[in-house]
Amino acid sequence: MTHVVTLLPPLNGLPQSVQVESDAVSGGEGEVYFSTDGRHAVKAFYHANPNLEQHLRYIMALFADLPEDQKRFIVPPLALIETFDGTPRPGFIMRRVPPRYRKAVDLILTPRQAAEQFARGITWGSYLLAARSMAHAIGVLHSKGCAHTDIHYENFVVDIDEGDAVMMEADGVVVSGFIKPRVKGLVGFMAPEILTKGAVPSKITDRHSLAVLVLHMLLFRNPLQPLIELSDDQAESVRLGWGEQALFSDDPQDRRNRPTYLDVPLFEGGVLGYRMLSPQLRHVTEGALIAGLHDPPRRPSVHDWLEALSATLDQLWGCNECQQVFPYPYWKSPPMRACPFCGEQTRPPRPVVLSMWEERLAGSFAPIDRALVLGNGSPIYADMAEPHCLPPRTRRGVPIIGHTVWDEKRRAYRLVNNSDCTWTTVQSTATPAKVGGNQSIDLQPKTMIRLGSGKRILEVIDGGG
Ligand SMILES: [Zn+2]
């Protein structure tokens, strides 16, 4: 048996009536049905609400003209329901996310769920990519002047094989002064001031929820999970633990929420700590969960998170022992550079690490807090040379302009120019040397290489080996 749903104009290219399967997924506000052609989903609300239709029309208009590279992260309403099996019912139709996408909560609630994915050959890098897609989704809302009331791991679906994530419930957005929130959010992800002061969800509270969600994706646990009861009254204990006395588990000054086996390798029964993350991610984590936890204006923006997550993609290194990948800890002394999953030390030859510089004024360069971690045969992609460019979602098809080679005899790395561009080495003591196509240069610490006119400079900050 199927149901028939008719739609109200404007139809935006959709048929006027759609058949949906009889089975529905029930939620708090309504039911979701899937069209028999598998292309769409219909959300039918239980109750009519005088503001609902106006709200949905506003959201539809807001997201109608999104470019494809933004549309993919969210599923906004496409048209409103007129009738459901002949009876008027509030609701809307949206695109259907393919069934291979699973709720984020099923992949990260416990380290065991992540371990199941690792056993299938999925790496931590896929979780990092999915976390970046989540930040993108919130970024799309914020760019339209919206906030979300309900950011948490039930409202994102993830294709972990591709490292992709899509935000569901885009109809739950709020616009300051226009669309009021229908829900307050989920305890655990809600900003403390919502619990303590009844603050209204906003971009600033979203920044908190996003931080918790991203770290949950990367560490497989909630980084604010209270470990002690703060009151005999359970509701009060929740209010205090996630509100007034909310505390980052890895806070260096206050250890009350610190898990016993924090920073012990995950596969040895330990708990991943934020110290395994790249410097960029640690910086935004400290901004969100230490400095900005109870001081909302200090929280990093969604864009800050996007930059930090993106930067980390170029700093991954593989473990020789367990084959997992992790941000290569070049900030530690070489004997301390161990795999956070199995605890194995990284083995020589260790990678070479290059930092990126960009031209600010003519001839004046400044570091941009990005690094590349490169091993033997690692490609340099075209986007790595371009100013103001973050790593793309995939580098399939991106031109390769160079690569690194490990010279076993000399125990040093070289960088080969595979582009048509002439590179120049920039050293204060020497006149610039030119590195043409198929020529290479020794990657000694402090060497600086300009990847062509108008391009970035790479500086060797760790020669590796
Ligand atoms: Zn390992």
Query: pLDDT tens digits, residue range 329-387?
Result: 999 999 999 999 999 999 999 999 999 999 998 889 999 999 999 999 999 999 999 99
DSSP secondary-structure letter at 60? H
Q: How far, in Å, is the centroid of ligand 1 from the Cα of 270?
A: 13
Q: How far, in Å, is the centroid of ligand 1 from the Cα of 217?
A: 19
Q: How far, in Å, is the centroid of ligand 1 from the Cα of 337?
A: 11
Q: How far, in Å, is the centroid of ligand 1 from the Cα of 338?
A: 8
The model's pTM is 0.94
Taking the C-alpha atoms of residue 318 and residue 300, their distance in angstroms, rounded to an integer, is: 29
H/E stretch holding 83 reads strand 79-84
Tell me the residue type at 135. A
Q: In the beta sheet, which residues pair with residue 164?
A: 159
Strand ranges (E), 172-257:
173-175
Report domain 2-95's class. Answer: alpha beta
Q: How far, in Å, is the centroid of ligand 1 from the Cα of 271?
A: 14
Q: How far, in Å, is the centroid of ligand 1 from the Cα of 129?
A: 20
Yes or no: say if 205 and 294 are a contact pair by the CB < 8 Å rule.
Answer: no
Q: How far, in Å, is the centroid of ligand 1 from the Cα of 132?
A: 23
Q: How far, in Å, is the centroid of ligand 1 from the Cα of 327?
A: 12
Taking the C-alpha atoms of residue 295 and residue 251, their distance in angstroms, rounded to an integer, is: 15
Q: How far, in Å, is the centroid of ligand 1 from the Cα of 23?
A: 44
Q: How far, in Å, is the centroid of ligand 1 from the Cα of 344?
A: 5
Q: How far, in Å, is the centroid of ligand 1 from the Cα of 403?
A: 25
Q: How far, in Å, is the centroid of ligand 1 from the Cα of 323?
A: 6
Q: How far, in Å, is the centroid of ligand 1 from the Cα of 336?
A: 13
**Which are the contacts of 56, defined by CB distance < 8 A and separation ≥ 6?**
77, 80, 92, 171
Distance of CA 189 to the CA centre of its chain: 15
Q: How far, in Å, is the centroid of ligand 1 from the Cα of 121?
A: 13
Q: How far, in Å, is the centroid of ligand 1 from the Cα of 156?
A: 29
Q: Return the domain boundaries, the chain.
A: 2-95, 102-313, 348-462
Q: How far, in Å, is the centroid of ligand 1 from the Cα of 442?
A: 30
Q: How far, in Å, is the centroid of ligand 1 from the Cα of 353?
A: 20
Burial of 66 from C-beta contacts in 10 A (0-12 / 13-18 / 19+): middle
Query: Phi first, then psi: what are they for 407, rounded to 5°?
Result: -95, 105
Q: How far, in Å, is the centroid of ligand 1 from the Cα of 2?
A: 50
Report domain 348-462's class. Answer: mainly beta
Taking the C-alpha atoms of residue 158 and residue 160, their distance in angstroms, rounded to an integer, is: 6
Q: How far, in Å, is the centroid of ligand 1 from the Cα of 318?
A: 8
Tell me the residue type at 213. L
pLDDT of residue 453: 92
H/E stretch holding 61 reads helix 52-63
The three-state secondary structure class of 358 is strand
Q: How far, in Å, is the centroid of ligand 1 from the Cα of 422?
A: 39
Q: How far, in Å, is the centroid of ligand 1 from the Cα of 376?
A: 19
Per-residue pLDDT in tens (0 to 9) along the chain, 465 residues: 899 999 999 898 899 999 999 999 898 789 999 999 999 999 999 988 878 888 889 889 889 889 988 999 999 999 999 999 999 999 999 999 999 999 999 999 898 999 999 999 999 999 999 999 999 999 999 999 888 878 999 999 999 999 999 998 777 677 655 555 656 678 999 999 999 998 888 999 999 999 999 999 999 999 999 998 899 999 999 999 999 999 999 999 999 999 999 999 999 999 999 999 999 999 999 999 999 999 999 999 999 999 999 999 999 999 999 999 999 999 999 999 999 999 999 999 999 999 999 999 888 999 999 999 999 999 999 999 999 999 998 899 999 999 999 999 999 999 999 999 999 998 655 567 899 999 999 999 999 999 999 999 999 999 999
C-alpha distances (whole Å) from 177 to each of 203, 312, 406 are: 13, 37, 59
Q: How far, in Å, is the centroid of ligand 1 from the Cα of 110?
A: 19
DSSP secondary-structure letter at 272? -
Q: Which fold has domain 102-313?
A: Transferase(Phosphotransferase); domain 1 (1.10.510)
pLDDT of residue 52: 85
Q: How far, in Å, is the centroid of ligand 1 from the Cα of 272?
A: 13
* Distance between first and last Cα of the chain: 66
